[in-house]
Amino acid sequence: MNAAWLVRLYPREWRDRYGDELADILSERASSPGLILDVLVGAFDAHLHPHLEPVPATQRGAFLLPRILRCRPTRGMLVGLLVYAGLVAGLGTLRRIYGFNFGLDFFYFAVNGALPLLWLSGSEPAPGLRSQTVRLMVVLPGAVLAGLVGTLLTNGPP
Amino acid sequence: MLVSLADGPKHGYAIMDDIARLADTRIGPGTLYGALARLERLGLIESLPAEDRRRPYRLSAQGADLLQHELSGLQRIASAGLVRLAAQP
């Protein structure tokens, strides 16, 4: 079976640039679970790191703000913040109605703490294990701190 | 991948075959194009005009400098390791 259809799983901009070449290789190779998994992981990686897509020549001279808004991580972050604001408003109302609830507080902590981790997953890893380790050492305590501060700010002390 | 391109431009399929010969390991096309995208974005490789549906890639000057630096470092370490092994009683 020809696995070239898997190219459709990649982001559109990525396909515009590399899709023909990848499809050409896939069409010449026998499909196997290993090959399909490799391409699936590649597509997932391309979605996680959309800034790896080549910048089209027409966008290179564009103003900074439209370029930032076109960037998929920025759009994802804006949508995430809207969803987060909805959760805070909704769950805050529930808390005022029903009083202290450990489950809700834990939920606030997890949601607030997840934001730095989302940033980490959406950003391009720096080359080298040492840089990665340093980033994790900064981000993980940052996630815990963001969880605590966010919970206190949005929910008040328990 | 940079070593594979060190002797001249190659397209994706040729890079995969070359890496299989060089490193005795076969990388998948998803892995290959993920790495090509990163290397191109970092300016370490450049693409040439496509031939049919295949686009050859070549080392950029920056990529060649980096490869030279990395290989020299590896060579120093390998030489030191071999000398120390030979000096063992």
Q: Smallest Cβ distance to B41: which of A24, A29, A52? A: A52
Over residues A106-153, the pLDDT tens digits come to 666 677 667 666 665 555 544 444 455 656 666 667 777 777 776 666
Mean pLDDT of chain B: 93
> Which chain B positions have a beta carbon within 8 Å of A35's beta carbon?
28-29
Q: Smallest Cβ distance to B33: which of A22, A51, A54? A: A22
Higher pLDDT, residue A66 or A33: A33
A27 → chain B, closest CA residue: B29
> Which chain A positions have a beta carbon within 8 Å of B52's beta carbon?
24
Contact A21 B41 (CB under 8 A): no
Does B41 touch chain A if contact means CB atoms closer than 8 Å? yes
Over residues B39-84, the pLDDT tens digits come to 998 999 999 998 877 899 999 999 999 999 999 999 999 999 999 9
Cα dist from B67 to A21, A56, A80, A119, A124, whole Å: 25, 28, 40, 31, 21
